[in-house]
Amino acid sequence: MKLLSKEEIFPFLKNLFSQAQKSIKISSPWIKSEVFEKLLPQKNVNLEVILRDSEIEDLLITDIDVLSIIQQLKGKILLNPDVHSKFVIVDDKKAVVGSANITKSGLYQNRNIETAVFIEDEKEIQKLISQFESIKEKSVNLSENIVGIVLNSVSSITAEILLFQEIPQQTYLKIPVEDSGFLLGRVSVIKDINSSLFSTFLSTVERSFFSETEKLKIILTEKDPLYKKALTLSYLNEKGNSIKVGQLEILVYFNPEASNKESVLKTPMVPPPAGALVYSLKTEKEIQNIMKINHAGYPMGEPVLFGKLFNTNIDAYIDLEKIYSMHMAVLGTTGSGKTTFVRRVMENLKAKDVKIYIFDLYDEYKRSVSKCFKLTFPPLLFPVSFDNIKELFKQYGIFFQEKSSEERRVASYFRRNLKPDIEIIGFNKKSLEDMLIESISLTDLKGELREELLTFLDMLKKDYTEDALKKHPEVVEDIKRSFKSRENTVIYDFHRIEDPVTRVNIAGILMKEIFRISKSKEGKRVIVLEEAQNFAPEKGFGEIPSGSSNIAYVMARKIATEGRKFNLGLIAITQRPANISKYVLSQLNTQAVFKLINRNDLEAVSVFFEYSKEDIFNILPFLKPGNGFITGLAVPFGILTEIELG
């Protein structure tokens, strides 16, 4: 032990700091930057500094540059309202304990009379380290991601907070509680904190609070967010009071130490206490664990990564198990990110026992699935009923009324050969051209109907490609091979088919066969239906019927209602939620909603947003591409997310 006089303390500390190899621990209620900078070594060491913040004057003595210096050195800033100890520890081996703060008057001005001792004894050093750690435990770590403080709990699910820095609305925050858990919340509204705002809660705050205008002015006008945190915490410590503003929706209570039989997510029942610190989310392990929990509060059966929680680096997951059992809707305008969202799910899918069938209208998935069975349909016509043929006849001026015997023969022929079933449809062996030629042979040799049908066939050949009339047996064989494919993903590419009835017919018989396979064979299957409004439209929208004549519509309803019994899920993607069957939409129990502008579309999705989520519903028209709100059974709670575009 060595005794140090006032004149010896500063040079001794400077020399001691220069010898530091690993760490410097400082407990000094007040520090001035001009002294502090001269002491610090020109090397990177682990720096921890405990400062006093019992009242706002403490942070007016310790100037802002001190905090900046510590922050630049990636050190820890610890605030404690009761600390009066003054000591430093270097490399956990040497220490100086004394009466001086790290200020001019404390270390080298001829004002205060100060004394210090230098300690190297190992046992005494350990005692001092324990003392430092004890003070740390009772301090606020300003270097952590503290963004605010709870000012008032409106209820167990709503709290008012004072923010220390600017953050976007919809940012996720956490409030630690006494045990190992924490409350997870979402900022729904942000208001500027200024003097005019204080008048809105005059009735709830003591008059003395507003009499100290100078102190408030210092806090409110301070631009540096780190210093503003320190000033505000000091003021609240001084006043022993809380300011009541806020806008935090508390989503869930998370208890990472829950037993295996308990849900780790629980409904918040106790409001957070006023004065509790509010933290931003980064990559904490417990937050990552939350994102792999489904709506029921239990670990996801098959978590699939698709993006990040909004305004964080935290991975966001969706539970595929809840998709193939309870379905999903993906809704948003063109370019909003809805298809990219599904592609991200496909890219990160790890499960090998799930078969994915993608109905791709615009050839958007070819780059996102490396190993797949892809069937690109040629630009053919594919009627599956005589009604389809009659409609074709009508388009070319033939009005088929089945009054004559030859008309009835032709109608009977097509009814025998055209069935909405891949196994028994006549296209297994014959093309549409073959059928038309055979049907013509059933007419009278010199009859008017024969002439009309021959003209009809000639016009079809001129208006459509050769494939449109001849490729049917080949297409049917390819469809059957797709069901036997060993690849986990099958892509049905419709982009070359222009005829909307053909798209609907092929999609319908595909869905019918996939449903049949799911009933007879074990396994997990998901149908991804792009531009679903083209297959399962709401009544009165578009040129595609929404009744029993539309086999795709019939099968979409059937799968949405009964698919879960056979582990067959449906992902319906659409840019026009108002145009998709409301019945089908109501059966999709997870919803991913991206930017929407049209009023009818917004009304169609409004049912997914309860009262507490109205703020998110109101920003749907303003969401940036890649930002979307995911809610329902496949996520822990409604989450605002962002996905990587491109």
Asked whether residue 165 falls in the same domain as residue 127, the answer is: no
- Are both 137 and 6 inside the same structural domain? yes
- The one-letter amino acid at 536: A
For the chain, give the mean pLDDT: 86
pLDDT of residue 202: 36
On the question of pLDDT at 207 being above 60, the answer is no
Lowest-pLDDT range, 358-362, 486-490, 539-543, 638-642? 539-543
Domain range spanning residue 208? Answer: 146-290
**155 and 65 both lie in a single domain:** no
Asked if 7 and 132 sit in the same domain, the reply is yes
Average pLDDT over residues 229-246: 62
Q: How confident is the model at residue 310 (pLDDT cuts 50, 70, 90)?
A: confident
Choice among 46-60, 431-445, 576-590 with the minimum mean pLDDT: 46-60
Distance CA 331, CA 345 (A): 15
Stretch 383-409: mean pLDDT: 90
Which pLDDT score is estimated for 192? 64
pLDDT at 194 over 80: no
In the predicted model, what is the mean pLDDT of residues 183-191? 82
Tell me, yes or no, whether 556 lies in a domain.
Answer: no
> Rounded to an integer, what is the distance from CA 368 to the centroid of its chain?
20
pLDDT at 205 exceeding the cut of 60? no
Strand 2-4 to 116-119 pairing = antiparallel
Residue 347: CB partners within 8 Å, gap ≥ 6? 368, 369
The answer as to whether 395 is a domain residue is yes
Task: Indicate the pLDDT class of residue 239, thresholds 50, 70 and 90.
Answer: low
Cβ–Cβ under 8 Å, residues 531 and 575: yes
pLDDT in tens, 325-350: 899 999 999 999 998 999 888 888 77
pLDDT interval class at 217 (50, 70, 90): low
pLDDT greater at residue 313 or residue 209: 313
- Do 126 and 156 lie in one domain? The reply is no
In this predicted structure, the answer to whether residue 576 has a pLDDT above a threshold of 80 is yes
Quote the crossing angle between the two packed helices 472-484 and 500-520, to the nearest 10°. Answer: 30
Residue 35 lies in a domain: yes
Instruction: Assign 549 a pLDDT band (cuts: 50, 70, 90).
Output: confident
Centre a 10 Å sphere on the Cβ of residue 638 and count the other Cβ atoms it contains.
21
| One domain for residues 150 and 286 | yes
503 contacts 532 by C-beta, under 8 angstroms = no
Are 286 and 150 in the same domain?
Answer: yes
566 occurs within a structural domain: no
Residue 283 pLDDT: 58
Confidence tier at 201 by pLDDT (50, 70, 90): very low
**Burial environment of residue 218 by CB neighbours within 10 A (0 to 12, 13 to 18, 19 or more):** middle
| The pLDDT of residue 530 | 93
Note the pLDDT of residue 196: 41
What is the arithmetic mean of pLDDT over 101-116? 85
Question: Which of 123, 141, 159 is where one domain is finished?
Answer: 141
With cut-offs at 50, 70 and 90, classify the pLDDT of residue 232.
confident
Note the pLDDT of residue 99: 92
Q: Is the pLDDT of residue 199 over 50?
A: no
Say if residue 178 is in the same domain as residue 256: yes
How many domains are there within the chain?
A: 3
Q: Do 285 and 162 belong together in one domain?
A: yes
Residues 226, 196 share a domain:
yes
Q: pLDDT per residue over 291-302, tens digit each?
A: 888 887 788 989
**pLDDT for 337:** 92
**278 and 163 fall within a common domain:** yes
Residue 218 and residue 249 in one domain: yes
Which domain-ending residue is among 122, 141, 160?
Answer: 141
Pairing of strands 94-98, 182-187: unpaired
pLDDT band at 214 (very low <50, low <70, confident <90, very high): low
Closest CA to 591 of 536, 555, 630: 630
Spatial contact of 139 and 272, defined as CB atoms under 8 Å apart: no
Q: Does the residue 63 lie in any domain? A: yes
Q: Is residue 512 part of a domain?
A: no
- The model's confidence at residue 209, banded by pLDDT at 50, 70 and 90, is very low
Query: Would residue 567 be called left, alpha or beta, if left means φ above 0 and alpha means ψ between -120 and 50 degrees?
Result: left
**Confidence band for 97, pLDDT divided at 50, 70 and 90:** very high
Which of 414, 445, 470 is the C-terminal boundary of a domain? Answer: 470
Residue 333: inside a domain, yes or no?
A: no
Instruction: Report, as an integer, the average pLDDT of 505-526.
Output: 95
Asked whether residue 431 is domain-assigned, the answer is yes
Q: 15 with 88: CB under 8 angstroms?
A: no
